[in-house]
Structure 1
Amino acid sequence: MAAPDSRPIVAVVTGASRGAGRGIAQALGGRGATVYVTGRSRAASDSPYGGTVAETAALVDEAGGRGIPVVVDHGDDEAVRDLFETVRRAHGRLDILVNNAAKLVGMTLPGGFWQKPLDTADLITVGLRSHYVASYHAAPLLIANGRGLIANTGHYGAVSYYHGAAYGAQKAGADKMAADMARELRPHGIAAVSIWMGPLDTERARAYLASLPPRDRPAQKRESPLFTGRVIDALYASGDLMALSGRALIGAELGALLGVTDVDGSAPRSLRHVLGGPPEPHPSLLA
């Protein structure tokens, strides 16, 4: 994966110790990208689901890229500023920012929002505000590059009930944030999108499914965490990048448009007709 001037892509993937972020970073590494891998996990014991930024960076290396692990708490604005200052000093530019960091607390617990832990709302801090802060510091580096992409990892929960009020607010907010940022970045040739992922085969998902009675476990095939990374790579290289900027896009549909399959060659299925789809952007966002 090379930039228009043949330099390797420089990317930052937040929340990449495990899960979707790990797969996205690994997929970009498979195209030769230099990927800054961020997250809070220094040791596998830091999370019940395992994974560290160093492990993900090693997977990026194995895939053919260059992985750079950076331990960052995305609730710490100064730490985020320092991350992008490191990127600036090393490269003077940035090609792709993937906003994926999210603090997930109590999402799958039963009951209403008032019955779940109050820190379930932390998802709106590390998961929405953190997207804004990372984009704030990334924008000057993307503009310096003359071409770039901000991709927020999204979900159907933006328009349907899924995991409760905090989750829906975060996903809907990330979509609108991408739309408004795209409007302001368009004169600089920088795109911003939200990419809705389907059910993922992640460490967290496997643990949750294993906790369910066998009869309650969904039978549908789950997307590889690498699929969204493949889609982001193809979108950045696509001549349709700016035409699609500002939109919330279903990853399965975007993959079909760009000819991207999952790692096993399968085509993930859109859940638009089950959970709903992104609304059409207002014309003012596309001007």
Structure 2
Amino acid sequence: MATPFLNGKISIVTGASRGIGKGIAVQLATAGSKVYITGRTLHLQEDGRGSLAETAREIHSQGGVCVPIQCDHSKDSDTEQLFARVKEENGGQLDILVNNAFSGNDIMIKERVKSFWDHPLSMWDDINNVGLRNVYLCSIYGSRLMVPRKSGIIINISSAGGSMCMFNPAYGIGKAGVDRMAADCALELKKHNVAFVSLLPGPVSSETVFTLIKAAKDRGENVQDYKSVVEKAETPDFVGKCVVSLTSDPSIMEKTGKALPTFELAKEYGIKDEQGHGPVTDSKEVLLNFVQGHII
């Protein structure tokens, strides 16, 4: 393991079964934090998607401390029980909360070729019940633990979709809400020395993105150009390194309330991705062309 400079810190990463959430959980644990990870499935799913158990095994194999908790973030009671358990097991301590859980990928892929007025009404809830409403709920519970201790950081995993057209309107509205949540909540939390930011990864070489590519390929679309971009895109571990750098930044309160692209953090903190990977671009125009292309 690397130098465990987060020793003694308690973290929660929601939606950590795979992809970005998994990468963040692994990096926080590698840095020494005890990490509570959540997801709807404890064991490997039939379709081969990742699981909490898989994330936990990877963390434990590297000497990290991880507590997997099966949690359906569409259910308020599950979320309430999660924070109650963390509070009870750690004497009320919570240092880092990463709101990453999102449940809209399947319907976004299924309904991709339709205009928003032809989407099922469930599109909004499938995307924003977990992706926005539950983020707010987790932030409330997290703040209740951090404020009394005058310490902590909440990180919402967002995207450039909060400031440009991406995927569909329900998705963009949700991400804009996540960013605004960080900005507005940060104003109230600042006097308690609790930071709240949004993190904006670029294209990430995750399981979900490759599922999008496969779906486009199945429709007969030419996806080679986009596949080439994604295969060299940010890895989930890179996003995790950005999170670790934020949590250990002594000047984090100067960033509170802001939406922070990973490529900017990489430059500031000197973060390197795996060989052959890295931020695709710091140009919104190129990113816009990517997300509005054939795979989206």
TM-score, normalised relative to structure 2:
0.86
Deviation at 1:52, TM superposition (A): 1.2
Deviations 1:194-244 (A, max 9, x none): 010111111121222234258423122211011111111111111220000
**Paired AA for residue 164 in structure 1:** N
What SS does the aligned partner of 1:191 have? Answer: strand
Say whether 1:113 aligns with 2:120: no
Choose which of 239, 242, 245 in structure 2 pairs with 1:234: 245
Q: Is the 8 A contact 2:235 2:277 kept in 1?
A: no
What SS does the aligned partner of 2:98 have? Answer: strand
Say whether 1:216 aligns with 2:223: yes
Deviation at 1:86, TM superposition (A): 0.8
Separation (CA, whole Å) in 2 of partners of 1:20 and 1:255: 16
Separation (CA, whole Å) in 2 of partners of 1:222 and 1:254: 16
Q: Is the 8 A contact 1:49 1:204 kept in 2?
A: no
Q: Is the 8 A contact 1:42 1:54 kept in 2?
A: yes
Separation (CA, whole Å) in 2 of partners of 1:166 and 1:16: 23
Q: Is the 8 A contact 2:95 2:151 kept in 1?
A: yes
Deviation at 1:131, TM superposition (A): 0.4
- 1:16 alignment counterpart: 16
Q: Is the 8 A contact 1:97 1:149 kept in 2?
A: yes
RMSD of the TM alignment (CA)?
1.8
Aligned CA distance change for structure 1 residues 146 and 63 (closer, same or farther; 3 Å): farther
- 1:176 alignment counterpart: 180
Q: Judge which range, 264-273 or 103-112, deviates more.
A: 264-273
Give ranges in structure 2 of 5+ residues lacking alignment: 289-296
Aligned CA distance change for structure 1 residues 143 and 64 (closer, same or farther; 3 Å): farther
Q: Is the 8 A contact 2:43 2:54 kept in 1?
A: no
**Paired AA for residue 123 in structure 2:** T
Separation (CA, whole Å) in 1 of partners of 2:103 and 2:14: 12
Deviation at 1:264, TM superposition (A): 3.2
Q: Is the 8 A contact 1:235 1:258 kept in 2?
A: no
Deviation at 1:113, TM superposition (A): 1.3
What SS does the aligned partner of 1:98 have? Answer: strand
For this pair of structures, how many residues does the alignment match?
A: 272
Deviations 1:150-180 (A, max 9, x none): 0001111111111101110111000000011
Separation (CA, whole Å) in 2 of partners of 1:235 and 1:180: 19
Deviation at 1:265, TM superposition (A): 7.7
Q: Is the 8 A contact 2:202 2:234 kept in 1?
A: yes
- 2:264 alignment counterpart: 253
- 1:185 alignment counterpart: 189
Separation (CA, whole Å) in 2 of partners of 1:242 and 1:63: 31
Separation (CA, whole Å) in 2 of partners of 1:49 and 1:127: 23
Q: Is the 8 A contact 1:95 1:145 kept in 2?
A: no
Q: Is the 8 A contact 2:146 2:152 kept in 1?
A: yes
Separation (CA, whole Å) in 2 of partners of 1:269 and 1:200: 9
Q: Judge which range, 110-119 or 249-258, deviates more.
A: 110-119
- 1:89 alignment counterpart: 88
- 1:69 alignment counterpart: 68
Alignment of 1:130-141 (within 5 A): 130-141=134-145
Separation (CA, whole Å) in 1 of partners of 2:23 and 2:208: 13
Deviations 1:50-75 (A, max 9, x none): 11112112222223321110000111
Q: Is the 8 A contact 2:155 2:196 kept in 1?
A: yes
